Amino acid sequence: MKRIVILASGSGTLAQAIIDAGLDIDIVAVISDQADAAVLERALNAHIETFTIPMLPDRAEWDRELETLLAALKPDLVVSAGFMRILSEKTVNRFRIINSHPALLPLFPGAHAVRDALLAGATETGTTIHWVDAGVDTGEVIAQERVEIHPGETEESLHERIKIVERGLIVATIASLISTMEKTNG
């Protein structure tokens, strides 16, 4: 059974989808940078160990703390599920990390992808699961799913519709990656 660590900063709907999916994985921990993140309560309710590493004044020290914790947890895969921090190059080179992003990358990278798509007048957007590299949403795309933008759509309504698609796509992508890892690693 593959060991998964989830990184999340917010409500935890993506993490909950992974928890509820019934995949043949061991979610060994949820790590957040926000002590009051609802994702931590979701994890505790599912009997998953939680850790909080608040951002520190010294970013390099925070990077070291996160890398040290990940190393101790020995994950086969790290899933960034609404984790609103850029990871250090050393961390992304050391661990296999995927991220979920609410746009069709390479379009609309960064923290305001939904707003940016609307401001650009896009007629469709979607969600992307990609490998995390040292850039901002620049890693190799693993999977994408499109979402049509309706006339008069608000950022909030569009983001909610994307999240529904995103939850299914991240679960399917993890299942596929785990299956591939099982075949190559035995």
Report, as residue numbers or ranges, the catalytic residues: 101
Contact criterion met (CB below 8 Å) for 28 and 2? no
Give every CB contact of residue 51 below 8 A, 6+ residues apart in sequence.
Answer: 29, 30, 31, 32, 69
What's the rounded Cα separation, in Å, for the pair 127 and 59? 29
User: What is the phi-psi region of residue 63: left when phi exceeds 0, alpha when psi lies from -120 to 50, beta otherwise?
Assistant: alpha
CA angle 26, 166, 109 (to 5 degrees): 110
Q: What's the count of helices (H) and strands (E) in the chain, helices before strands?
A: 6, 7
In the sheet that holds 124-131, the strands lie side by side as: 50-52, 25-32, 2-7, 77-80, 97-101, 124-131, 141-148
What is the gyration radius of the CA atoms in the chain, in angstroms? 16
